[in-house]
Structure 1
């Protein structure tokens, strides 16, 4: 089994640092880089892109609501066409920085509330995904399985990479448990690794209510802003390799 080990990076702002991006870049194979709306700024974006490019790591745009104060985790009810321009703005900014650095944006994922809302609402997902396809039809859309984002991406002819969020609980329908609910974020490293092991062995995850869900994924995500993220990423990688899995860049997995 080949799988991409991914993390959200570049989530500081100005002098404020969030997570140890440099250390994570030595462990992961692809990065979702904040584009200045929920976190990040041009300097951080440039630094993170260049650090990833030096290591041959796939670069992705992590787009969210314009909500620095709430880290993109608060819902904003905007017109879907307006939201599509938010996505283009962020994707365009990161793509320009990547181009100058001799790299390119290979994939895109939706952050926080924007991702959760569009996962269950086709009317929100479709215009945003269509904007991505119009900008670059070769960009891969990363999303959890069986979402409206995935439906919209396939309709646009975009490739989709299904992501497993190792430290987030799942509902019985495969959607993420709201962060407002107890147990939504799995804080025990042992529990996270057990979930990764289950995924690698039989391709399933157990929902918060105990239902076993079969999922086909190409990517495992570790949140870079959580305490102990570097050690957890190392342990996740070791767990994958212990069970004869191979950690590889997302672009190489989808090509083969």
Structure 2
């Protein structure tokens, strides 16, 4: 395994403070995300998992600290720098967060039209490619979000997140609301795309099956910071009460057994 000093940190967070009124969600939070890895971010309710994601991509204003994403200062960077870096990452929010009044094709075209002036025929080709990449049938492109199942909406949202061929993709609870079969299929899709495209994946999740199936490392949010980070064995060896309960509870044992069976 490569040493930290030999890796490239595509996300570097130092001393992050997130505060809402008098309530501190994060204090002195540090985190590195290495190029090409799948990082799973877990934590109990109220630990600010989604807040951390939104702060990294500059949708939430930090109270203090520093964040670099692909070499760009996400807290103090100017508008031009932030606009430039936004084309280099994609985001899949819960349930896809698609524009309900637009078709799947039109949703995928939104980021393309924001950054490029492309002819209609090329837009159509890109849309068809992205729809195919995420495993949707071709006719899904002309459907509205309300006409899709929950799993299909997530795939459509992923197609939009991949529209600009990003280097980093952020996921916020990607398997929430999916049945076990659909969640496992989505996990496989994420891992296959990550390998094929060389993506770096930052994934907020509570899904233990996802942690076992696709995550290279896990970061645990607790006590207003990243309490622990590392591969699954490091989680299993932790004596911290919450970490121990989370990774050794009944659901964790079932996820571990399922992952072991999958490898056989």
TM-score (ref. length: structure 2): 0.35
Larger Rg: 2
TM-score (ref. length: structure 1): 0.36
